[in-house]
Structure 1
């Protein structure tokens, strides 16, 4: 009796394993018709489509077509890894294109700056994007761009336990055996950082930007009502109106689409302003308070990922340099604009404090880095007001610096 029971248990256990394996195999086969091919699925957790102004290659990167083998005539290859600052969705070309143009203008031929900038990603994705894709390009140099505004982490490298599922290229249990199915599930359920970045309100972006064209009083009524209904139902609408009206017409003028660098109104911006301006937690009022309150928070954890990426690159015979991207506090126009909302602006003060602390920590490490604050500090018109990305002017200034730094590492 006991032997028969044990055999049945073994039978059902083996059967369950075989059934699970067959199910996964079928899922992978079906998903292969629905998801991007490699390496696109390991680079970006959403599908992208080129537009008349923004072109993506077959790797889902905003770049010209690239190949893993070095093209004939190429003598230097660099890969620029980062987030939306490198993707450059708000400027006419990504940073990598501006860098290559500077080399060409200076007579330096056969040099590549490959764009691995993907919006809504951070140091863990940077690390695994380098490990699983960028290193296969056999580059001479990897430039890893870290943005002070949202790239700081609470979890250090080496302590992260792979979950059941995660956006690629992050490791996960499902991703180890079924990468196509993993991409499909993450994409459909919005499990990526990009998928969770905005509240899913259908047509919100288009509606908000259409309301900008209304007369001031009607515009404020519509926006305040929308934020009350969808984001802050327990907050008096009068409070929301007061917060949104503080900057007067100067605030709304920033979204004039006739500007060289047109701005766009998003729900996350308005909700962030209202959330912070009504917040009761401790917030820094100046740089000194930011240093005291936030200067060391998450710095060591973030540094651990940069050190790990540097070691990974070195182990593969590739040089890696970190580029620190400051927040908009370096742009006097950005600072002046946000003065009516001191609590919301405190997020930039905190990020700037962590930026300076990370720069100091990198200076004590073996990881080579450049601090882009050096070329952006005090330069007006370098940051977009609403989303805090570089303007065309800011991108051009950074491209000058990055082109010079990478050129130092190129063969003579």
Structure 2
């Protein structure tokens, strides 16, 4: 009996190992190579193809990705001989800049070059639909071998607060979006990437509904005459998002402010806005919601504590990672659109939906205070953007070309000052 049990145990182990090995071999032909698979859950080629079809009449917005799958110029892990100061910027769509002609980090480098400092790097590791958990592991697994002088973690108040704290010794899940640890990821990273990609298990995959040609349809309908345009959107949202919300309610929400919502999507030479399903869905969700929301900044501040402490643990962990590699971590706090007067005015008819910005801004302020208390280096971008009109896209809430330029100028100055403080003139000994 004992020998039979040992037989099945050994046989089962060999079978599992062979299966995992076989799937990993097959996945090696489908998953991108490292570090691309640790950086984004969708291949750069697939993403570019999707974006190219959306921007068919605006080819200048089609992004170019390097072999790491980043929207950046080609980079190397070995520091080039002519680079004396290396910074790495980690963040989400605010760094990837999909609706922009160029990314914020590329503008930082351009400002340095124009000022006679071509020996400075601002490597872009911005990936859409990621947050502090991914930032931490991205720094641990990808930034560490880059041996930077400074790491900039760009934290967006709108959606970068998390409810799960960093617990280094907790058991990993069976599968997770890379570079976050998982059981499968430790033994078969290519298989883990492929499964997350195919089954939409990443934050990007979970945040977007698989509705065929939705983007193209929505933006085509936006160009229809006002008399028939609304009918298309109401029917679409009730069919695919909220079948249990009555038609009159959906129609009323989307028609508030007269033509205000739809004029935002008119073609323009720069900062063109696009209709997106998640945006309309979120508006309906919040405007029909029954939960209590803050009515002003004071009420928002009273409720801002949740998720601040949890988010802080990931940034403190990132700070320790930076110290361990001999680098300096800088947390750049990006506020929500509440700082832009145009953005605030645009969303006035949808007060419940806008209230999320009040909560985000309150958490932003609280996090800034907590980071300063703990001695972490903070660049509060609210100081540069507050009260400046035209810095945020009205609908998706990302920086406009103007807003991106303002942030790039601020970070270029801050990093130049930090270089002088650190007296960095090339790779440090031991790195």
Distance 1:329 1:269 in 2: 17
Q: Of residues 32, 36, 48 in structure 1, which corresponds to 2:32?
A: 36
Partner of 2:294: 284
Partner of 2:354: 345
**Partner deviation per Cα, 1:130-177 (whole Å, 9 max, x = no partner):** 110111111110001101111111111116541000011000000000
Which has the higher mean CA deviation after the structures are superposed, 229-238 or 392-401? 229-238
Partner of 2:80: 71
Partner of 2:250: 240
User: What is the number of equivalent residue pairs in this alignment?
Assistant: 407
Distance 1:31 1:204 in 2: 29
Distance 1:275 1:161 in 2: 34
Q: Of residues 88, 92, 100 in structure 2, which corresponds to 1:91?
A: 100
Shift of 1:246: 0.5
Unaligned runs of 5+ in 2: 53-58, 426-431
TM-score by length of 2: 0.93
Unaligned runs of 5+ in 1: none
**Partner deviation per Cα, 1:337-358 (whole Å, 9 max, x = no partner):** 0000000001111111111110
Residues 11-410 of structure 1: pairs in structure 2 closer than 5 A: 11-49=7-45, 50=48, 52=59, 53-158=62-167, 161-293=171-303, 295-410=304-419
Shift of 1:259: 4.5
Distance 1:109 1:228 in 2: 54
Distance 2:290 2:25 in 1: 52
Distance 2:82 2:370 in 1: 39
Q: Secondary structure at the match of 2:67?
A: coil
Shift of 1:313: 0.8
Partner of 2:429: none
Let me know the Cα RMSD of the aligned residues: 1.1
**Partner deviation per Cα, 1:283-306 (whole Å, 9 max, x = no partner):** 01110111112x111101100100
TM-score by length of 1: 0.97
Q: Secondary structure at the match of 1:27?
A: helix
**Partner deviation per Cα, 1:89-148 (whole Å, 9 max, x = no partner):** 111111110000110111112110000000000011001101101111111100011011
Distance 2:384 2:171 in 1: 38
Distance 2:176 2:289 in 1: 32
